[in-house]
Structure 1
Amino acid sequence: MSSRNPSVAIIGAGMSGLCMAIRLLQAGINRFVIYEKGSDVGGTWRDNTYPGLYCDVPSRFYQYTFAPDPDWSRFFSPGEEIQRYFSGVADRYGLRGRIRFGTEVVSAEFAGDRWHIRTSTGEESTVDFLVSATGVLHHPRSPDFPGLESFSGKVFHSARWDHSLDPRGKRIAVVGTGSTGVQIVCGLAVTAGRLELFQRTAQWIFPAPNPRYTTVGKRAHRSIPWLSRLAYMTYRALFEAYTKAFTKPGLRRRFIAAVCRANLRTVRDPELRRKLTPDYQPMCKRLVISGEFYRAVQRDNVQLVTDRIDHIEPRGIVTDDGELHELDAIVLATGFDAHAYVRPVRLIGRDGLTLEEAWQDGPRAHNTVAVPGFPNFFMLMGPHSPVANYALTAIAENQAEHILRWIRRWQQGEFDSVAPTPQALERFHATLRTAMPATVWASGCDSWYIGQDGLPEVWPFTPAEHRKLLLSPPDPADYELRGGTGAGQAVAATARWRPAPSRFRGVPR
């Protein structure tokens, strides 16, 4: 039987979208296009350019296995370096000519076994497969403080940094104490005249140094390619052991909690330490990784404000105790809508089913990648993906490989369309809900993990179990396959679902 040549549309040219595109190229699939609403690749690393930005996953783990970089500057790389990495990967694989920059997908409808796409530029196209790679944290969430628009100084979200702001000697407020707020405080504490951190909820801080990589070490990674593989596999093993602390009570969880509490004791002032002490278990919220924050927040020019913001006036922020905090700039480190996923794209599946209707009880995805009623549609970093303190590059590679295997089966004519059954999703979601109470995320805190049903919307098992799920033969009973010469023969088809060989190899630089 001759192989069919699929066409694929990818929404988003961030980390996961680039990963999907490269895996298609490696499989000999060339008919694909990437729709990117921005002007460059990189996604979150393109959008976030604030002072102090770095990735809190080790550099040698936060990279593609098929494109290791021997020249990372630090253990945790700064944001601009990670952006250069993704930009360089896009160039090396010739992806820019396949990307429609400044083009947002407005709607996509499945009809006649194909996806019909319409974009913000008026372009219309039809493809066999649609892949959403829109990321997790890309819709900034700004608080509706009374009077915010009246402020006479600069005010902006951390993901829309205003580089015209010269922080030297300025009075700057940072609103929010998540990873972003912590990094900005560390980045501005030395230069700002006065830095005020407005804290609604205290965070647990895990101390981690960020040493520079030596010239000798970089040279060794360039000349001995297997060192990159060894480093990657070592970090993967360490992180998979570490993430067991999130999913089950035990020694690992107690150890990480003890380290966080010991780190907090480095704050000398008892009153400041009290204000910085969370009222929930370490790791219930996304753990903040920083070896500098407690030193920065104890500087004379840095003030922690725990009184709630009442309103904002032209001169600054007024807290509910009536105090006016006069300011030159307000930085909103207030996070993102972590549950938007592919939205606001209007997605219409089989028989007119919209994604809003399918997700009226909250976002759900079978095996974290597919939705009943939406054939030949897959998501990278979709609902329930393992996103807690783990390398998302590794998650994206596993999901991209899973999607690619379905496309290969389509190539061989086994089906024209595939989607999970509603029953399969219900069983999958029930398994997640049953496991969730044992996780630290369900121990009692309000975090961006929490979904519409009040439960964390994350993967409650280890990343290794997620990888096994995606790369094992799928259960034929979980999917509806229509059309194709092999329709109804899913049992035989799964026998050809083989694990791919290791793809960890260097790419000419």
Structure 2
Amino acid sequence: MADPRVIIVGAGMSGLCMAIKLRQAGVGDITIYEKAGAVGGTWRDNTYPGLTCDVPSRFYQFSFATNPEWTHLYSPGPEICAYLDDIADRFDVRRHIVFGTEVTAARHTGGRWHVETSAGGTDEADFLVTATGVLHHPRHPDIPGLGTFAGATFHSARWDHDVPLRGRRVAVVGTGSTGVQITADLAGTAGRLLLFQRTAQWILPAPNRAYSRFTRAAHRRLPVLDRLGYRWHETVISKVLSQAIIKPGWQRRLIGAMCRRNLNKVADPDLRRRLTPPDEPMCKRLIASGGFYDAVQRDDVELVTDTISHVEPRGIVTADGRLHEADVLVLATGFDAHAYVRPMGLVAPDGRTLEEAWRDGPRAYRTVALPGFPNLFFLMGPHSPIGNYSLIAIAEAQAGYITGWIRRWRAGLVTSMAPRADATEAYNEAMRQAMPRTIWTSGCASWYLGKDGLPELWPWTPRDHARMLSTPEFAEFDVS
């Protein structure tokens, strides 16, 4: 029984998951190329103040490696990064990782994937698995004069911890999840905090209670509590939040009512009006916070809703001509969520490139594969169910599916596999037909939307996604 050679691109959460699943299946010829110098992916790159996961800790972890030491209901970013670092050692994955090396291109020829790296080296493998993440490429706003600002400027994903903030005037551009977390954390530390809001966001109340030493000790002593906690949070999210997103019903009304009631915590009518979104709750990715509305009502915090005109050395000038002076400018402006594996160049056996395949927008078969690109698999590929759900659970389902195909290769049942174009089109058409029932199409602009104006997300529940990937449809693949 031959051992396949597998190259994984990225040592973040999903890349580690893929490697562990392969090792558990007895596959040992694995190389993970990681462009940075450490594991962790987005949890390594993002270190901004107030960073926490918006999925409960007990669910945002591998089902096969639960952690009894979480300190809060919602994990602080450094704890998640430390958890992933521990996972790399606990499952002996680190020895497979080549750090400081980015995969720049890969071509399938002669029955194998031939890979080029930023170090000038080449490699080849029977399977190529991309685990490059979703929130990976920071998006910088096109604001005139941004480069002229005299103070410190940085993106939230590239936080400069050498810049002092206490007592200084800090301007935060963006009110997505990151901007909300930064605001809640820095209010009271910054001398004055200016929050520039283009569109108001709905906030789901989510107080982040700490786990007691007794609770952590109980979870250490009784691992079944970890498993029960995982299933409890997974069930609540699946039965309530996931259902609210994909179809009308009591769940959608409940989440909407919770968000509107939370907004009523803002006492000042004018401020509350400016914080009221024009769209429905969950149309954009729902933000969870227990402290944002308290922070934004402070006297040393100012919400600015006028459009930004330009930046000058002293600060930000809005459309009304007002200069908002600042010492530090933080760009909490998100990521290019549609980049996926790009800018890495992928070339199929017939010479077709990934850019050509995705000319009309990223598409995939069942979120994990692409017609014409044999033995190529994605983790967190197009239309993965990433909205307000544990990406770790999604990665486990996808990695399990991919491992199933690699097992068949190893058993000599197949040597090459790629989904058929007609099966991929039928799958994508079924998603398009289901999309109008989702809250995402109720009328808002968000990073969920692709070139065709439709969300690049899974329009059913994450449980449906896991069930779909649990049973491969062999008739929908071209195999040899």
In structure 1, the residue matched to 2:109 is 111
Residues in 2 aligned to 1:310 and 1:286: alpha-carbon distance in whole angstroms: 27
In structure 2, the residue matched to 1:287 is 286
In structure 2, the residue matched to 1:48 is 46
In structure 2, the residue matched to 1:379 is 378
Residues in 1 aligned to 2:462 and 2:274: alpha-carbon distance in whole angstroms: 34
Residues in 1 aligned to 2:319 and 2:161: alpha-carbon distance in whole angstroms: 31
Q: Displacement of 1:412 after TM fit?
A: 1.1
Q: Indicate the SS of the match to 1:83.
A: helix
1:53-452 matches, within 5 Å, as 53-242=51-240, 243-452=242-451
2:169 partner amino acid: R
1:16-27 matches, within 5 Å, as 16-27=14-25
1:290 partner amino acid: S
Q: Displacement of 1:476 after TM fit?
A: 2.6
Residues in 1 aligned to 2:419 and 2:267: alpha-carbon distance in whole angstroms: 55
- 1:376-395: CA deviations, max 9, x gaps? 00000010000010000000
Residues in 1 aligned to 2:142 and 2:3: alpha-carbon distance in whole angstroms: 49
Residues in 2 aligned to 1:93 and 1:414: alpha-carbon distance in whole angstroms: 28
Q: Indicate the SS of the match to 2:330.
A: strand
Residues in 2 aligned to 1:274 and 1:116: alpha-carbon distance in whole angstroms: 56
Q: Displacement of 1:248 after TM fit?
A: 0.4
Residues in 1 aligned to 2:34 and 2:317: alpha-carbon distance in whole angstroms: 40
In structure 2, the residue matched to 1:488 is none
Residues in 2 aligned to 1:14 and 1:270: alpha-carbon distance in whole angstroms: 44
Q: Indicate the SS of the match to 1:351.
A: coil
- 1:454-495: CA deviations, max 9, x gaps? 1000000001100000002x223210002xxxxxxxxxxxxx
Residues in 1 aligned to 2:347 and 2:379: alpha-carbon distance in whole angstroms: 18
Residues in 1 aligned to 2:386 and 2:88: alpha-carbon distance in whole angstroms: 23
Residues in 2 aligned to 1:5 and 1:47: alpha-carbon distance in whole angstroms: 34
In structure 1, the residue matched to 2:460 is 461
1:128 partner amino acid: D
Residues in 2 aligned to 1:173 and 1:208: alpha-carbon distance in whole angstroms: 25
Residues in 1 aligned to 2:466 and 2:141: alpha-carbon distance in whole angstroms: 37
Residues in 2 aligned to 1:445 and 1:438: alpha-carbon distance in whole angstroms: 14
Residues in 1 aligned to 2:146 and 2:360: alpha-carbon distance in whole angstroms: 33
Residues in 1 aligned to 2:278 and 2:53: alpha-carbon distance in whole angstroms: 26
Residues in 2 aligned to 1:233 and 1:295: alpha-carbon distance in whole angstroms: 32
Q: Displacement of 1:174 after TM fit?
A: 0.4
Residues in 2 aligned to 1:403 and 1:392: alpha-carbon distance in whole angstroms: 16
1:405 partner amino acid: G
Residues in 1 aligned to 2:180 and 2:166: alpha-carbon distance in whole angstroms: 19
1:461 partner amino acid: W
Normalised to the residue count of structure 2, the TM-score between the two structures is 0.99
Q: Indicate the SS of the match to 2:350.
A: helix
Residues in 1 aligned to 2:271 and 2:213: alpha-carbon distance in whole angstroms: 40
1:115 partner amino acid: W
- 1:170-208: CA deviations, max 9, x gaps? 001000000000000011001000000000000000001
Residues in 2 aligned to 1:166 and 1:274: alpha-carbon distance in whole angstroms: 33
Residues in 1 aligned to 2:6 and 2:226: alpha-carbon distance in whole angstroms: 31
Residues in 2 aligned to 1:234 and 1:453: alpha-carbon distance in whole angstroms: 37
In structure 2, the residue matched to 1:497 is none
Q: Displacement of 1:91 after TM fit?
A: 1.5
Q: Displacement of 1:436 after TM fit?
A: 0.1
1:402 partner amino acid: Y
1:436 partner amino acid: M
Q: Indicate the SS of the match to 1:131.
A: strand
Residues in 1 aligned to 2:19 and 2:137: alpha-carbon distance in whole angstroms: 23
In structure 1, the residue matched to 2:476 is 478
Residues in 2 aligned to 1:403 and 1:85: alpha-carbon distance in whole angstroms: 24
2:444 partner amino acid: C
2:308 partner amino acid: I
- 1:291-328: CA deviations, max 9, x gaps? 10000000000000000110100100000100001110
Matched residue count: 479
Q: Indicate the SS of the match to 2:124.
A: strand
Residues in 1 aligned to 2:467 and 2:474: alpha-carbon distance in whole angstroms: 17
1:484-503 matches, within 5 Å, as none
Q: Displacement of 1:254 after TM fit?
A: 0.6
Q: Displacement of 1:94 after TM fit?
A: 2.1
- Structure 1: segments with no counterpart, 5+ residues: 483-509
Q: Indicate the SS of the match to 1:352.
A: coil
Q: Displacement of 1:250 after TM fit?
A: 0.7
Residues in 1 aligned to 2:67 and 2:99: alpha-carbon distance in whole angstroms: 26
In structure 2, the residue matched to 1:487 is none
Q: Displacement of 1:223 after TM fit?
A: 1.1
- 1:98-144: CA deviations, max 9, x gaps? 11111000110001111000100011111000000000000000011
2:164 partner amino acid: D
